[in-house]
Amino acid sequence: MAPLISEDGDDHSAEGHRVFLDSMLQRDYGKSLYDCLFILGDNCAFNRRLATIAHLPLIGCASRWLNIAVQAYLQFYKDELDTIQNLMRKLRTLNHAAKL
């Protein structure tokens, strides 16, 4: 794959990436960006913009939603988790861990 920036005027904008992806898909796979069904990436503004100008849906990163769900679930156990975290901080040294 050719580097994204190879000519004067090339940049890291969403439009620059769209042009690069379209030319790379044509050159390497004989496909067009219009053959793509979606863009998969995190939910940053850059990827949302790329999906918009490419007229493709953005499939956002599911790990963020998993993290939100786990954090909400763990709120119920906040006191217990705080106690465990404080204990683990005290056990960081080898001598304290050996006493356990």
| Residue in the block written with tokens 């994204």 | 4
| Predicted confidence (pLDDT) per residue in 24-65, tens digit | 999 999 999 889 999 888 778 888 999 999 999 998 877 778
Its domain, for residue 49, covers 14-59
pLDDT of residue 1: 45
DSSP code, position 4: S
Residue 27 lies in a domain: yes
Strand 39-40 and strand 58-59: the pairing is parallel
Residue 75 lies in a domain: yes
pLDDT of residue 89: 87
| Residue in the block written with tokens 């904008």 | 13
pLDDT of residue 40: 85
Per DSSP (E only), the strands in the chain are 39-40, 58-59
- Residue 51 and residue 28 in one domain: yes
- Residue 68 and residue 85 in one domain: yes
pLDDT at 74 over 90: yes
Residue 37 lies in a domain: yes
- Residue 55 and residue 19 in one domain: yes
Number of domains in the chain: 2
What average pLDDT does the chain have? 85
Residue 4 lies in a domain: no
